[in-house]
């Protein structure tokens, strides 16, 4: 029997998303999500797709990422799809920061793990969770290839003019301070899927991808290659996010230190965890923010306006970077679901050939779809991302190559 299954683990700072896929025919066998890890209200939702039946839910504290993965392993075993299965070919891990070294999916050995660990300071919310995921999976199946698929990899095609900060070259190089970009598997998958939606080859289209989840980033993709993206050295730069500030004058940090008396660690927590939408209005869930706006809440309305203003600036910037744009595409939790965000982000950009059709925009669907009116010069689209599928594809391709 040849092993054709891949388990994908997408470990975030407080969550794990997972999918088990059979790469022989592309079927999803099981999928799920563990949320609010470390809190009293942790929740595991498991969809037993192949085994059949309703999705199962478990609530109550799941202390850490290791406990989360062990719980996921138990759920898979209950479906007869446990990690001990000989049909499992590999485990694919999303790893957020790959630095300069990792530009391709990589089979994980001790040296690779050590390098991912060295990058923790530049992805403090993400790489530690990814490392725990790798360690736990290795403990459960030491014989199986584990593959790291890096968020940064897709962005390594950025030209130096976009990747470099305008700071002293020697200092920057010594400390590898440059713009790496993140959410790369999503930007890669979605830009390719957008070309398909337009009935064109990826090489023939220029796309602005807006990945709006809890973390959020924009990218400019020319002919299938990333030429600019909004996140930088860390996933803090760029758009307004759920809890992250995105762009802010770096002097804010000097000011808060010298005048505000805050420590660097306090400012780190402030900008990464207490800013963005949550810092502006107390909520980071776009559904709740829209409910509050509908009820007349001015603080929520201002938070929304700031979020949209930043988004619009990036659409304009990447329009200029690309010169010619074939599509602007929305993806991830907010991008796929929040019609008011899509409408507001594109409003007033008719001169750029951009418009949203109200009726098409209000359709709810899991399918990739156009939401621009027929007359619009530039397509506006909603394309659901599938980081797990992209990671599974890359993992399986690499393991197949190593075995042949």
Ligand X SMILES: CC(=O)OP(=O)(O)O
Give the pair of three-digit tokens for residue 145: 């290839």
Annotated binding residue 403? no
CA angle 254, 260, 263 (to 5 degrees): 70
Give the active site residues.
Answer: 151
Contact region with ligand X (CB under 6 A), list: 57-65, 75-83, 141-149, 209-217:
209-217
Annotated binding residue 279? no
Give yes or no for a contact between 149 and 395, defined as CB atoms under 8 angstroms apart: yes
Contact region with ligand X (CB under 6 A), list: 52-60, 82-90, 109-117, 208-216:
208-216
> Where do the DSSP E strands lie in 151-214?
206-212
| Residue 333 interacting partner from Mg ion, ligand X, ligand ADP, none (CB closer than 5 to 8 Å by kind) | ligand ADP
Using a 10 angstrom Cβ sphere, with 0-12 exposed, 13-18 middle and 19 or more buried, the burial of residue 199 is exposed
With binding defined as CB under 6 A, does residue 335 bind ligand X?
no
Give yes or no for a contact between 313 and 210, defined as CB atoms under 8 angstroms apart: no
With binding defined as CB under 5 A, does residue 235 bind Mg ion?
no
Give residues in contact with ligand ADP (CB under 6 A). 12, 213-215, 242, 284-287, 332-334, 337-338
With binding defined as CB under 6 A, does residue 98 bind ligand X?
no
| Residue 379 interacting partner from Mg ion, ligand X, ligand ADP, none (CB closer than 5 to 8 Å by kind) | none
- How far apart are the C-alpha atoms of 398 and 220, rounded to whole Å? 27
Give yes or no for a contact between 22 and 29, defined as CB atoms under 8 angstroms apart: yes
Smaller CB separation from ligand X, 124 or 223: 124
With binding defined as CB under 5 A, does residue 32 bind Mg ion?
no
Nearest to 58 by CA among 70, 50, 295, 271: 70
Give the pair of three-digit tokens for residue 98: 């790959």
With binding defined as CB under 6 A, does residue 183 bind ligand X?
yes
Nearest to 280 by CA among 294, 260, 300: 300
| Residue 242 interacting partner from ligand ADP, ligand X, Mg ion, none (CB closer than 5 to 8 Å by kind) | ligand ADP
Smaller CB separation from Mg ion, 87 or 285: 285
DSSP 165-182: -SS-HHHHHHTT-S---S
- How far apart are the C-alpha atoms of 319 and 322, rounded to whole Å? 5
Total Cβ atoms within 10 A of residue 23: 19
Smaller CB separation from Mg ion, 213 or 238: 213
With binding defined as CB under 6 A, does residue 330 bind ligand X?
no
Smaller CB separation from ligand X, 12 or 279: 12
If you count them, how many residues does the chain have?
404
Smaller CB separation from ligand ADP, 186 or 395: 186
Mark the binding-site residues for Mg(2+), compressed into ranges.
Answer: 10, 387
Residues in touch with ligand X (CB under 6 A): 12, 96, 126, 151, 182-183, 213-215, 235
Mark the binding-site residues for ATP, compressed into ranges.
Answer: 17, 211-215, 285-287, 333-337
């Amino acid at each position: 029997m040849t092993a054709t299954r891949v388990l994908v683990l997408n470990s975030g700072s407080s969550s794990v998303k997972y999918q088990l896929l059979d790469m022989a025919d592309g079927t999803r066998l099981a999928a799920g999500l563990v949320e609010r890890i470390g809190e009293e209200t942790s929740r595991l939702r498991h969809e037993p797709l192949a085994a059949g039946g309703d999705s199962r839910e478990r609530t109550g504290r799941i202390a850490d990422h290791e406990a989360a993965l062990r719980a996921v392993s138990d759920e898979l075993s209950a479906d007869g799809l446990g990690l001990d299965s000989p049909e499992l070919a590999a485990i694919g891990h999303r790893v957020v920061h790959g630095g300069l070294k990792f530009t391709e999916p990589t089979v994980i050995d001790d040296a690779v793990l050590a390098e991912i660990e060295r990058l923790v300071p530049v992805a403090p919310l993400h790489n530690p969770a990814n490392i725990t995921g790798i360690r736990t999976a290795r403990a459960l199946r030491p014989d199986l290839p584990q593959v790291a698929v890096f968020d940064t990899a897709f962005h390594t095609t950025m030209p130096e003019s976009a990747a470099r900060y305008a700071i002293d070259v020697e200092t920057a190089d010594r400390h590898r301070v440059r713009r790496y970009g993140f959410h790369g598997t999503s930007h890669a998958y979605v830009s390719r899927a957008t070309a398909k939606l337009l009935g064109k080859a990826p090489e023939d289209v220029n796309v602005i991808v807006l990945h709006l989840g809890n973390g959020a980033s924009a990218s400019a993709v020319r002919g299938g290659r990333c030429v600019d993206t909004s996140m930088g050295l860390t996933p803090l730069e760029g758009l307004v996010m759920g809890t992250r500030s995105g762009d802010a004058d770096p002097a804010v940090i000097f000011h808060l230190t010298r005048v505000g008396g805050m420590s660097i660690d306090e400012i780190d927590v402030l900008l990464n965890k207490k800013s963005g939408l949550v810092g502006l209005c107390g909520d980071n869930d776009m559904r709740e923010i829209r409910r509050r706006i509908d009820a007349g809440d001015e603080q929520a309305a201002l938070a929304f306006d700031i979020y949209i203003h930043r988004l619009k600036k990036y659409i304009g910037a990447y329009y200029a970077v690309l010169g010619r744009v074939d599509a602007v595409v929305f993806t991830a939790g907010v991008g796929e679901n929040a019609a008011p965000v899509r409408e507001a982000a594109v409003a007033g950009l008719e001169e750029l050939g951009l418009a949203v059709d109200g009726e098409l925009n209000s359709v709810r669907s899991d399918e990739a779809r156009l939401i621009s009116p027929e007359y619009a010069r530039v397509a506006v689209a909603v394309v659901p991302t599938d980081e797990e599928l992209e990671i599974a594809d890359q993992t399986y391709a690499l393991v197949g190559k190593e075995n042949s």
